Amino acid sequence: MTDAATSESGSTVADPTGPEPTGTTAGDESTTTADPTVPTSTSTADTGTDSTSPVTSTSNDTATSTSPGTSTDTGETTDGTSTSTGATDTTDGETGETGETGETGETGVDPCGPDSDGPLLNCFVGCPDELFAVPPYVEEFDAQAQYDAHWKGTWAAPTLAGGALNFGPHPMTLDWWDNYSPTWSKQEYGDALLCVRLRLTPPMVGIPDEDMFEITSRLPADAAFETGAMALGLLTADEQLVFRTRIAEAQWQEHAAAPFPLDRGVENTLDVLIYGQGDDYVAELRNAAYPDDITVLPATAQFSPKGLVTLLGWRNSEAVHVDRLVLGAPSADAYPKLAAELP
């Protein structure tokens, strides 16, 4: 695999983020929307077929599903939903070492048990290992040698400090390509669950398309920009969550979107789950400030079945800190809930 970025001296090396744009400013960015919908429903997600077949993993970089997705309708827009839950979670949100099981409800079903409905983030904080089949890949970002062994950073490379991978802040200049701060895995993952705990600070005055952070799933090693992959964008200026694909230097195809509340001018701590199976994807997000509000966003798009995982800070006026990242196959208990949320 080769790196993709243009150095300050102008020499070019290959990089999954693609070649440096020329003459394009942030004001030129456009979005190609596939039946865009910004859902406002607070009801439970319209789920797909529930499956109880667990995903099995034989290595850290490959997860094989026994119930592959079958949808191939690229660009289908799916409603995201925000669910309010009554589950009680007493896990230490900072360490994220363990998940907590909620109390049994009036129906006699443990809201965090294998027979319960609802998002996984009802019951887990900080990407605990219990969400994953053994062995997952866990990155605490507390050792430079481990980061160098498993991840690659170029351009304005993120830094390791304080047990976190730190992106930005970057100046809000019109030459937006100078504001990149990407990093991507050295291993390619197939059907797999990704969990990220991160902290970001939305600006007091948000400018659309400027303050954002992206997590990309299954990016082909030879992709230009984020083409051919599903990117989950945290649009902090818009307080919006979006699944989309970058199809040109400053053009995007949107697959699904949902509102996502954030507190401006202060640091927000987020837990993010992204699960990809075949052509189907689902994300769960929770803001620690609003633990009972979990956003579930499903989407469908036909991409490469295997690829790199990319973390990309772009035009962030405040720093973004990634504290923990876990990759692998979902556990036997987690899989049915994820499968039920797929489109």
On the question of pLDDT at 287 being above 90, the answer is: yes
Banded pLDDT at 157 (limits 50, 70, 90): confident
pLDDT at 47 over 80: no
Q: Where are the alpha helices (DSSP H) in the chain?
A: 144-150, 334-341
Helix (H) or strand (E) holding 39: none
Q: Are 247 and 24 in contact (CB under 8 A)?
A: no
Q: What's the average model confidence in pLDDT over 65-78?
A: 38
pLDDT at 44 over 50: no
Average pLDDT (141-148) is 94
Lowest mean pLDDT: which of 172-176, 250-254, 274-278, 334-338? 172-176
How far apart CA 302 and CA 299 sit, in angstroms, is 10
Tokens of 64: 């094989």
Res 21: pLDDT: 32
Whether residue 117 has pLDDT greater than 50: yes
Task: Give the CA dihedral 217, 281, 33, 36, nearest 10 degrees.
Answer: -140
pLDDT in tens, 269-278: 999 999 999 9
Cα–Cα distance for residue pair 125/290, rounded to 1 Å:
13
Tens of pLDDT, residues 230-282: 999 999 988 999 999 998 877 889 999 999 999 999 999 999 999 999 999 99
Strands 164-167 and 293-300: unpaired
Is residue 178's pLDDT more than 80? no
**3-state DSSP assignment of residue 69:** coil
Report the Cα 127 to chain-centroid distance in Å. 13
Task: Specify the 3-state DSSP secondary structure of 236.
Answer: coil
Across 65-93, average pLDDT = 41
Structure-token pair, residue 181: 């701060």
Residues 6+ apart with CB under 8 A from 341: 45, 47, 48, 119, 275, 282, 284, 296, 298
Judge if the upstream peptide bond of residue 208 is cis by omega within 30 degrees of 0. no
Across residues 320-342, what is the average pLDDT? 95
Mean pLDDT rounded to a whole number for the chain:
74
Q: What per-residue confidence (pLDDT) applies to 147?
A: 94
Confidence (pLDDT) at 170: 84
Closest CA to 282 of 294, 271, 274: 274
pLDDT, mean of residues 220-236:
88
pLDDT at 107: 53
Q: Is the pTM of this model over 0.85?
A: no
Q: Which helix (H) or strand (E) holds 278?
A: none
Percent over 70 (pLDDT), the chain: 66
In the prediction, which pLDDT does 304 show? 87
High-pLDDT (> 90) share of the chain, %: 48
As a whole number of angstroms, the distance between CA 13 and CA 171 comes to 24
For residue 80, give every residue at least 6 positions away whose Cβ sits within 8 Å of its Cβ, in sequence order, or none. 39, 45, 241, 256, 257, 258, 295, 296, 297, 298
Q: What is the pLDDT of residue 155?
A: 80
What's the confidence (pLDDT) of residue 80? 57
Q: Which pair of tokens denotes residue 113?
A: 């048990």
DSSP string, 87-105: ----S-TTT-----PPPP-
